[in-house]
Structure 1
Amino acid sequence: MTVNPSSVVDDSAFSVRRTIRIAAPQAKVWEAVTEPEHISRWFGQAAFEGSYAGARGTLTWPDRAPIPVRIEAIEAQRMVSYRWGNDDASGVVSGELDDAHSTVFTFTLAEVADGTELTVVETGFETTSDPAANLADHRDGWNGELDKLVTLLESDS
């Protein structure tokens, strides 16, 4: 399995960033970050009404209520941006997507000699109830989830 650097928090920009390499074709990585049946294999159980900007859906994990998600932007094979529910000042994630209290994560893909470079950047933590704690939590989350993605795609190759 390819070993990748950890996520980095930028406290001043309220963002988390991680760039990884995956020894798999860009088309395969694209499917893994955009198609619900593939997202569900490494992230959370995903359900979407479509694969276009504005499409709504949910991500669900066994230990929490469904989190509302919306595709913000999509450029085939290159970039997809999702807005997802995050806690508001009260620390609660509601069943509806609240643009004022949500974060946006964007996957950007680039073909490289040995496969695909994938960068995720998540922004908007300044609107959450505890920005520092949420930044740390999501930094750790992206480390674990993207490591699962690498393992999945490289074992399928």
Structure 2
Amino acid sequence: MTDDTLSRSSGRNVLRLERRLRHPQEKVWRAITDPEHLVHWFPSAVRMEPTAGATMTFDFGEGVTMSGEITDLDPPRLFAFTWDVDHLRWELHADGEGTLLVLVHTFDDRYGGASFASGWNACVALLDELLTTGETHTSGRFEQVHEDYVVKLGLDHGEAEDTPDGWRMRYERQLVRPADAAWRLLSGSTEAAPGGPVPEGFAVPDFPPGPVTEAKSGALLEYGWERGTVRVELGEGTGHGARLIVTQTGPPGDEDAKATALEAWRTKIESFARGLPAS
């Protein structure tokens, strides 16, 4: 994880992972390009002809498939392909008696970066196990690794902007549990309904909430505070959990309130996200 990075290029997000494997380059090459090897460590079964420009089919079982295309094939150094709208580039470099594997994943959903990183981290660990022992076992829980990646990749910070009507703060966070589990933890024993009190999990210090103005169980809650509004939404994420989006507004010129809201929600969301797997 130490050398893993998330950057921007041509308007897209670029995740880069490096792993040193204690196996010869040719052996690693077979494991990342042969469907009979891929099925043991890659997220799906793969059907393909090993030719640049050839179509790839990613089979997740139960009739669920996705398509891609091999964009680069240079044995035993480079294997690159599209996966739906994403692009994956696998580079192999001789490293003494072993191999340096470099994965570059290009995608659009920035806040899914930690999910992708923790997923590939687990997959490459399985790849290494396959190369070492000839078999793989189910990977352990990845939730803590995911949350560590959120911080490492800089995805734990909110954004704020000034508008003619005042400031607007926004946080977006990929979670490791579905929306119903997140909603239960946020709402506790309080049933959120328009006109009723705001459950403690949906509020932060220094901004006492007014009554709920809009609520949809498992999906959204909105309320006013003295000088603005707060909206908490739970939607679809990367497929490994819900996506949390928090938006708060405030009056023009109140920089202190904006800064306080950014820090308060950062603390709240970090604590909530890390506590969610145990809920």
- Measure how far apart 1:31 and its partner are: 0.6
- Measure how far apart 1:30 and its partner are: 0.3
Query: How many residue pairs are counted as aligned between the two chains?
Result: 131
Q: RMSD of aligned C-alpha atoms?
A: 2.1
* In structure 1, C-alpha distance between the alignment counterparts of 2:21 and 2:27, rounded to whole Å: 10
Counterpart among 128, 136, 158 of residue 150 in structure 1: 128
Partner of 1:77: 76
- Measure how far apart 1:6 and its partner are: 6.6
Partner of 1:57: 56
Describe the shift of the 1:66–1:7 C-alpha distance in structure 2 as closer, same or farther (beyond 3 A): farther
Matched AA of 2:128? V
Describe the shift of the 1:137–1:62 C-alpha distance in structure 2 as closer, same or farther (beyond 3 A): farther
* In structure 2, C-alpha distance between the alignment counterparts of 1:66 and 1:6, rounded to whole Å: 32
Partner of 1:88: none
Residue 104 (str. 1) matches residue 103 (str. 2):
no
Residue 45 (str. 1) matches residue 45 (str. 2):
yes
SS in 2 for 1:42: coil
Matched AA of 1:22? L
Partner of 1:9: 6
Matched AA of 1:27? E
* In structure 1, C-alpha distance between the alignment counterparts of 2:88 and 2:53, rounded to whole Å: 15
* In structure 2, C-alpha distance between the alignment counterparts of 1:64 and 1:154, rounded to whole Å: 32
* In structure 2, C-alpha distance between the alignment counterparts of 1:62 and 1:8, rounded to whole Å: 31
Residue 139 (str. 1) matches residue 136 (str. 2):
no
Of structures 1 and 2, the larger Rg is shown by 2
Describe the shift of the 1:15–1:63 C-alpha distance in structure 2 as closer, same or farther (beyond 3 A): farther
Segment of structure 1 superposing worse, 132-141 or 107-116: 132-141
Partner of 1:68: 67
Aligned identity (percent) is 27
CA contact (8 A) 1:22 1:154 kept: no
Residue 114 (str. 1) matches residue 97 (str. 2):
yes
* In structure 1, C-alpha distance between the alignment counterparts of 2:118 and 2:62, rounded to whole Å: 17
- Measure how far apart 1:144 and its partner are: 1.0
Describe the shift of the 1:147–1:40 C-alpha distance in structure 2 as closer, same or farther (beyond 3 A): same
* In structure 2, C-alpha distance between the alignment counterparts of 1:117 and 1:63, rounded to whole Å: 35
* In structure 1, C-alpha distance between the alignment counterparts of 2:24 and 2:64, rounded to whole Å: 33
- Measure how far apart 1:61 and its partner are: 2.8
Which structure 2 segments of 5+ residues have no match? 135-279
CA contact (8 A) 1:69 1:82 kept: yes
Describe the shift of the 1:144–1:62 C-alpha distance in structure 2 as closer, same or farther (beyond 3 A): farther
- Measure how far apart 1:62 and its partner are: 4.6
Describe the shift of the 1:62–1:120 C-alpha distance in structure 2 as closer, same or farther (beyond 3 A): same
- Measure how far apart 1:74 and its partner are: 0.6
Normalised to the residue count of structure 1, the TM-score between the two structures is: 0.75
